[in-house]
Structure 1
Amino acid sequence: MRTRFARVVDPRTHEIFSLDECQDCGLGHTRPQPEDLQPYYGDTYHGGRHGMTAAWCNARRLRLVQRAAGGETGRRLLDVGCGDGSFLLAARKRGWRVLGTEFNPRGAREAGLEVYERIEEVLPSGKFDCITLWHSLEHLRDPLAGLRRLAGALAPGGVIVLAVPDADGVQARLFGPAWFHLDVPRHLYHFGRGSLTRMLERAGLRVERHWHQEFEYDVMGVAQSALNVLMPTPNVFFDRLTGKPSEGSPTERALSFALGSALSALAMPPVTLTTLLERGGTLIVSARPTAAAPS
């Protein structure tokens, strides 16, 4: 194990963490991992994280699910880390029978969804044709054990589709400990393509497809990370766009919004380029159990 970043600041609590990296597999580990993570999430973390891009984000994710799982209706979908449930609601409109898991399930349950707090609680309900993890694998205490449980919960022909921040991408390398998508200590692990593929293989899964962009994630990764380097208070631009409270002064909020808007526009060409190079800010994969994977 080597230290990649000795000092990474949690923008919410201002506590200091480090990011260590396995020299064999490249998997990043947040150190220390708090015993109780709930104080690091708070009441405002789960809802409205996509702001005005939520509908666009859900539509794109449903297209990826259709490409990975096919377009038949009436099948079962589990979304692990479903947040406020917006993706599950969109999937249900497309004909999926949906369930979810979430550390704080209140918002999704209030939307009329069946949501459990832990993966173990939902598994006895039966097999799933598709299981999604949209930026949730990095939050799990034991992602390998979680993937093994989920692989066992797939119906014949079922598929897992998951997205993580790409810790080996250009953004991560460029911005280092200021990278917006490090999000310590909520992100307990940090994946690149190699480390993610190795973990999926250890869980009995075979990667079928890769995608390398979630557009709003990647643009925000550039804009907010640059602002985190330039401004004294982190994540002010993101907080304002998503309607979350911010510690920034009125002047800093106004300046962050102006600069962030300009940086978002300027980020579009490099985001396109890093996507083409398969080194973007986001890594998405679809994977099936090894025995069922096509040769």
Structure 2
Amino acid sequence: MLLRAMFKPVHSFHCPACSSGNIHFALSAKDHTVSQMDFDIWHCNDCSFRFTQDIPAIHEIGAFYQSANYISHSNTKKGLINQLYHLVRNYTLGLKARQIKRFTGLQKGKLLDIGAGVGAFAATMKKAGWDVTALEPDESARKTAAETFGLTLSLPDELYQFTENSFDVITLWHVLEHVHDLQGYWKAFYSCLPKGGKLVIAVPNYTSADARHYQQDWAAYDVPRHLYHFSPASMQHLANQNGFSMVKMQPMWFDAFYVAMLSEQYKTGKINYLSAFIQGLKSDWAALGNAAKCSSVIYVMEKN
């Protein structure tokens, strides 16, 4: 493969979350979006964190995002799955705004959105009266944010430049799984928030029922763009070791259906909408009363 020849794999000998050497191969997953390459996923026995092994370096991984189907960067509405994504997003944007107000106890405040994509959530919060700073690495996504919402998004490196206690809340909606400098980001989260400040992180949950059902074809593995694969236990570990307390876990009910549709396509080469709906429903049913079992989980943390 051309892309394989373009990068030198970065191999991890220790868990990126807890630094343990007690790690082993778990499964292999395929990049269905861009390269069609297989990537191994490893598991940490000590904290249950998983990570993609032999990844492209930060300056080389951009090629694996170059697809018109990568919706968070392109904002595409091509195809039924992406049309459904936009319909659901219009609802969830308002839901997220209400959740942030509830999590923080604030009607207005200072918010940092990391990995803003095309800026839809940042624009929603700005319209609600919040003072919003948004970071996004992808140039085309920043351009779309400017054209669609009139937003100026900054590069992620600015995260390391903010003064202490700059924000009331930091949000990462399906972003932390993409970040090469995992430990550096957590240090920056701690610095940027005051005591009691909220950190809101949404990520896929590889311990969910849909992940178990689809296994290597589970779309939320999304290798190699997803460098990390979280369990509730591993997120709890990351919070504890970086000076945060877990306040609550919230389910993201719609994610199970969206992920199931993509997973069906990866598994069989076509989308069986009925099967995807049933698997999404089964996953959400298994998570009723326990958000830690949901396909994707919103983790709400507070700085100690």
- Measured against the shorter chain, the TM-score band is 0.7 to 0.9
Q: Name the CA shift for 1:137/1:62 in 2 (closer, same or farther; >3 Å).
A: same
1:67 and 2:102 equivalent? yes
Partner Cα distance (2:179, 2:52) in 1: 12
Q: How far is 1:63 from its partner?
A: 2.1
Aligned to 1:21: 43
SS in 2 for 1:167: coil
Deviations 1:226-273 (A, max 9, x none): 332222xxxxxxxxxxxxxxxxxxxx5xxx3xx22x334434531431
1:57 and 2:95 equivalent? no
Q: Name the CA shift for 1:57/1:264 in 2 (closer, same or farther; >3 Å).
A: farther
Q: Which of 89, 94, 97 does residue 131 from structure 2 map onto?
A: 97
Q: How far is 1:225 from its partner?
A: 1.5
Unaligned runs of 5+ in 2: 1-22, 76-81
Count of residues in Structure 1 that have an aligned counterpart in Structure 2: 261
Aligned to 1:219: 257
Q: Which of 181, 184, 205 does residue 142 from structure 1 map onto?
A: 181
Partner Cα distance (1:263, 1:223) in 2: 8
Q: Name the CA shift for 1:264/1:178 in 2 (closer, same or farther; >3 Å).
A: closer
Q: Which of 123, 143, 158 does residue 106 from structure 1 map onto?
A: 143
Q: Which of 154, 162, 168 does residue 116 from structure 1 map onto?
A: 154
- Name the aligned partner's letter for residue 289 of structure 1: K
Partner Cα distance (2:106, 2:224) in 1: 37
Q: How far is 1:223 from its partner?
A: 2.7
Q: Name the CA shift for 1:175/1:9 in 2 (closer, same or farther; >3 Å).
A: same
Aligned to 2:66: 42
Q: How far is 1:151 from its partner?
A: 1.8
Deviations 1:105-127 (A, max 9, x none): 22223332231111435743670
1:270 and 2:282 equivalent? yes
- Name the aligned partner's letter for residue 216 of structure 2: P
Unaligned runs of 5+ in 1: 232-251, 291-295
Deviations 1:168-221 (A, max 9, x none): 111212211100110000000110000011012112111101112x23211112
Instruction: Provide the identity percentage.
Output: 25
- Name the aligned partner's letter for residue 209 of structure 1: K
Deviations 1:63-116 (A, max 9, x none): 22122112322x111110000000011111111111111111222233322311
**Which sits farther off after the overlay, 58-67 or 45-54?**
45-54
Partner Cα distance (1:175, 1:283) in 2: 18
- Name the aligned partner's letter for residue 64 of structure 2: Y
Deviations 1:141-176 (A, max 9, x none): 022220220121013432111100001111212211
Mapped contact 2:198–2:300 kept (Cα < 8 A) = yes
